Amino acid sequence: MQLRFLGACQEVGRSAYTVKTANSQILMDYGVMINHEVSFPIHISPKELNAVVLTHAHLDHSGLVPMLYLHSKLPLYGVEPTFKLSKVLVRDMIKLSGYYLPFEYMDLESMLNHAVSVEYNSQFKINDASVSMINAGHIPGSAQIIIESDGRRVLYTGDFNLVPTHLVPGADRQYNNLDAIIIESTYAGDDHPDRVESERNFVLACKEVVEDGGTVLVPAFGVGRSQEIICMLSDHNFSHPIFVDGMALDAIRMLEQHPGSLRDGDLFKKAMRQAEQITNWNERRKAARTAVVIVSPAGMLKGGASVFYMENLAHNNHNGIFLVSYQVE
């Protein structure tokens, strides 16, 4: 087995790795890095590959996959709702950054036409390699990849989380013997505070701002983190209004189609019913003047409705802006 690292080496973003065996080469993820411009991992020709395996939908893992489908017919493996969520995210990226991208909408559609949905813990063959995908505990559909060939076993974790969240259970760690591990290490040197205490403090802070007549903005990634925040507030019996905006609404509709990908489908339904959906600018302007919690992409305040809310809320010290998503330097 030969491993090749095409991106995400000592950096966060553009994850891309290959595993080469005697008779096959498999690409695991092919993401982009979005900062001031979109940047890409090292190029690889689809002709060199036998398949692509996608750990999850976030753009730093999925964003450049459509480029592989300009002409090729490679099978693309993943666990749903990964493909549905990828469509939402990549479509939005094309809309915002099309000038910088080496592919178009039709290439995204071609990619999705070659998607092969697999189940967690099931094994499938790619020539001489056996591949299985196990839960990564990151977002719905997120997976770790185990590739086995010629008596060797490699694990690629993708983004993973060992602690159960309101949205998904914690990562599966039934690996058996491994010869190599490619591991995500975004927070490797950090000691996380206790999750239960952090949640309690967050909900209490939201309550204090709203009861003082202020508005809380929670900029959050549209896929995963937005829904987690809404479920968290609901699970803690937050009694004040919650509004949700932007791409998070598309992701909610996708996840409603895949309740089996969630830790608690009933909690998800209850929480999403509690959240009021914002769909136009009049509603946005009204929400920014109301004592509510607004959950809105983009999580890093780089675009989307969260920028509008920030500009309207930041100068009033009765309001609160709580960053709950990863922030680039």
- Fold agreement (2-182, 195-321): no
Note whether 93 and 63 are within 8 A (CB): yes
Entry pTM: 0.93
- CATH for 195-321 (3.40.50.300, 3.40.50.10890, 1.20.120.550, 3.40.50.720): 3.40.50.10890
Rounded CA-CA distance 98/107 in Å is 12
Cβ-proximal residues to 106 (8 Å cutoff; 6+ apart), any chain: none
Rounded CA-CA distance 132/262 in Å is 20
6-22 per-residue burial string, b: 16 or more CB within 10 A, e: under 16: bbbeeebbbbbbbbbbe
Could you give the C-alpha distances from 277 to 81, 132, 248, 284, 302, in angstroms and in order? 22, 38, 10, 10, 21
10 Å CB burial of residue 220 (0-12, 13-18, 19+) is: buried
Note whether 301 and 307 are within 8 A (CB): yes
2-182: which CATH architecture? 4-Layer Sandwich (3.60)
Q: 199-206: long-range contacts (C-beta < 8 A, 24 or more apart)?
A: 199/232, 199/236, 200/236, 202/232, 202/322, 202/324, 203/232, 203/233, 203/236, 203/238, 205/320, 205/322, 206/233, 206/238, 206/240, 206/293, 206/320, 206/322
Closest alpha carbon to 303 in 31, 66, 59: 59
Cβ-proximal residues to 198 (8 Å cutoff; 6+ apart), any chain: none
Bridge partners of residue 294, in order along the sequence: 217, 243
> How remote is the C-alpha of 321 from its chain's centroid?
22
> How remote is the C-alpha of 152 from its chain's centroid?
29
Q: Where are the domains of the chain?
A: 2-182, 195-321
Q: What is the pLDDT along the chain (329 residues), one digit of tens a residue?
A: 999 999 999 888 899 999 999 999 999 999 999 876 789 999 999 999 999 999 999 999 999 999 999 999 999 999 999 999 999 999 999 988 877 899 999 999 999 999 999 999 999 999 999 999 999 999 999 999 999 999 999 999 999 999 999 999 999 999 999 999 999 988 888 888 889 999 999 999 999 999 999 999 999 999 999 999 999 999 999 999 999 999 999 999 999 999 999 999 999 999 999 999 999 999 999 999 999 999 999 999 988 899 999 999 999 999 999 999 888 87
Tokens (6 digits) for 9:
């080496």
298 upstream amide cis, omega within 30 of 0: yes
